[in-house]
Structure 1
């Protein structure tokens, strides 16, 4: 096989590795496929590079690309965003917020206007119109105290 056509083989190998990544996702084959693609570019630029040299370039690039993923990109992808922990916990998102009572709290139970809806609240007995602050959640009931 001619030395000039070897870069095509590296690019085909890159496509095969990336296709394996698409079928069996895990990010590992993607980075090795990228290394194979870059090796194809190196072979295109330096067609006189022997096969052993090409293999060494590929191995070094594969290690470097996998390390770049593992130590550079992966920690950023694994980082939790601050709002994600409370995404489906609407009551807990209300902690620290202030709302107005639309029904008095009598015997520990009342209602507050939260946005365009009414939420059950629990706390000390308070009259209608009192500004309350959410301090916790018990199921779907907001635990409140008088806002200061």
Structure 2
């Protein structure tokens, strides 16, 4: 398995592992497998350049390089804060604040349900009968806080 005086066995395995990890990063969301792939690729190159390197030492090198890649990635990620064009994108309840909705299950004792679009949400607020129009003033998780409109 020697071509150009290089033992490809273990180094090629590390590089193949790196390739699989980098492809998996493209398919699976998460932005973490790329660091494992970088560590595996660098370890593969070292294994190719230093044939006969014990596998245990290669594993230690992989762990150190992967840890370094994670640290650099974390530092880069923390330093690149970009304001979102839509900060409420993933907070559906917060997007409803200010909207007028209809009570579908009477609010009695501070608890009931309101119709939002084609669904019904749990709501808290002053007592109100079915059909009353209320305004959403806040949210606690998926429970909307309402007041008379």
TM-score normalised by the chain length of structure 1: 0.50
Q: Which has the larger radius of gyration?
A: 1
